[in-house]
Amino acid sequence: MSVQQAWQPPRRIDAIDFWLRSRLLATAHALRETLRPSARRWHGGDNALADAPVLAQYRTPLWSDGRAEEFPLVAGKVQNLRVARRAFDAIEVPAGEVLSFWRQLGRPGAWRGFVQGRELRGGCVVPTLAGGLCQLSNALATVAVRAGFELVERHGHTARIEQAGAADGDAVDATVFWNYVDLKLRAKHAWRLEVELTDSELVLRIRARSPLAAPAAPVALRRTNDAGAALPLARGCLSCEQTSCFRHRPQVDVGPEGRVAVLVDGWTPEFARYLREEHPHAQRLQPAPLRLAFWRLSATGWHRETAVPAQTLWAVSLRRALWQRLWARQAGRRQASLIDGQRWLARALASRLTPEHTELVVEQALLPHLQRIGALDGRRVTVLASALPMAEIERRLDAAARYWPGDATLRDFRADPALVRSETLALARAKAVVTPHADVARQLAKLAPQAALTQLDWMLPPVKAAAFIERRGPPLVVFAASALARKGARELAAALQGWPYRLRVLGSPSDDAQLWRGIAHIEHMNWQGDWLAGASVVVLPAHVEHAPRAVLRAVAAGVPVVASTACGLAGSTGVREVAPGDVEALRAALQAACIP
């Protein structure tokens, strides 16, 4: 039986010797692989096995060190796993081919987003660039053994990092070190690898259409030494009392829970109040409050709501403002330019995140873009939901288009299916959803049942109560939007036929000259003037409406309101709700609202 040696403080001469030998071995290995490659790099995107049965799955915790002082290195490890996941997720390996950890990942460098993590060296957990990738190699070896694969090459650790000891009884120990300490595996059939980072776990799945082979798990693969005892616990650099060691690093005051980052785009009073109350000390990342006329600052904005200094992204904000101004008057391309700007902003915001940001409060428009680049991996996510999911928006517009097939505005834009799927995946991982919109709350309760839902109260604008004006002539109906089909303009035109109403359109007129045919008295405000003056009722029978600010102004002024359920105003005082597209219910609600 071997006797475990007592730990000795590392020496600088030993570190220099290790560095020289490792560089020599890495160079020699690179030459061999150049002359005679032992494996190739596999690419994702084929999806031939995306619906194949799951042969094996393995879950391992991300934040499990157990020593609060080691948190900065654990956070760095999780960041490195975020970067590495993109190289392994959704790859498909043909039958009989070898998957090499390093060939698949490539050289880990700071230019790729890798940061200081933790590496086991000489019985110590030391800070090193791209440290922590062994958690991925351990999980990959374990799930491969469970699926009955052959481990062509595998190397074990000499100590364990986690304070709690080994996780599962059949966990496989497989260390890696660039580039000559590798993990290689092979199967007799084609297979697919899926890698996921939840807020608390690293999850690996192997899919294949071939039956599960008998897994081989010899004792040599276990996390034990030659005597069968558990490997010794490595000393952590940030929690070690050997302050005289040349590797010693001063403690970083981050806290065991990390930091919260708020990623926002637009400003709403409801979300501003929520953030002031629930996340007053969170770090806020935001665009500059520019309008399409980019030289003018917005009158309100997140920059006026921050209790702590916020990071404002001026460069990407200016680029986005110019781009959206270029396409502002082209209906279909305008919506696409908005998504372009959200993508640019999401990437810029993600680049400002640090490994210590373990919780994100994200505005919904940024969510699918952050999901696609992996910025949500390994983090708790709270969604500031200001809109319906894109899939639901398209479904509603398609339903409206079946009633009004001649209206091209109902089909002028559809999102990229990959972006829609990314939003669905991001919502599925949310831990909390916050919204003031009743209809959005209903939809997300079904789409993200695991998330804690908080419905905020709408904040009414500070307006004076509407003065009573004795009615002379037909009632005045105010349409609180531009004359667009998705805002319910066609249903309103049908509901007003044959009745003595006057109509005031708050926004811009329709391109269809026949829309309001049969209505004698009509005026267009183009978003100017006192549009509530003399109003008998304000109406918004929209199919899709996420920001009913004009209707809220009418509610605050005490003017009767008729709105569709899509406006999300359920429970608001003085609001009659109708189903979108229901002309008869809309006509009845308007008549009831106009009765003195």
Q: What is the pLDDT of residues 6-25, one digit of tens each?
A: 566 777 787 777 778 888 88
Considering only CA atoms, which of 162, 155, 207 is closest in space to residue 183? 155
Q: Which two tokens stand for residue 268?
A: 């709403």
Specify which residues 196 forms β-bridges with. Answer: 203
pLDDT tier at 165 (50, 70, 90 boundaries)?
Answer: very low
* Two structure tokens written together for 274: 């929520």
| Structure-token match 């044959």, residue found | 498
- The gap from C-alpha 433 to its chain's centroid, in whole angstroms, comes to 12
Alpha carbons 219 and 224: distance in angstroms, whole number:
8
Q: Which helix (H) or strand (E) holds 538?
A: strand 537-540
Check residue 541 and give its pLDDT: 96
Residue 403 contacts residue 583 (beta carbons within 8 Å): no
As given in the structure block, the two tokens for residue 165 are 């000891």
**Sorting pLDDT into bands at 50, 70 and 90, what band is 494?**
very high
What pLDDT, on a 0 to 100 scale, did the predictor assign at position 19? 78
Distance, in Å, from the CA atom of 275 to the CA atom of 291, rounded to the nearest integer, reads: 23
In whole angstroms, give the CA distance from residue 146 to residue 126: 31
Q: What is the mean pLDDT of residues 512-534?
A: 86
Do residues 83 and 252 lie in contact, with contact meaning Cβ atoms separated by under 8 Å? no
Whether residue 225 has pLDDT greater than 60: no
DSSP run (H or E) holding 476 = strand 476-479
- Inter-helix orientation angle 71-88/134-146, to 10°: 50
Question: Can you list the alpha helix ranges (DSSP code H) found in 8-92?
Answer: 12-35, 71-88
- C-beta separation of 183 from 141 below 8 A: yes
Average pLDDT rounded to a whole number, residues 434-463? 92
Kindly report the pTM of this predicted structure. Answer: 0.86
Domains and CATH numbers, the chain: 39-236 (no CATH), 259-455 (3.40.50), 476-593 (3.40.50.2000)
Supply the pLDDT for residue 297: 44
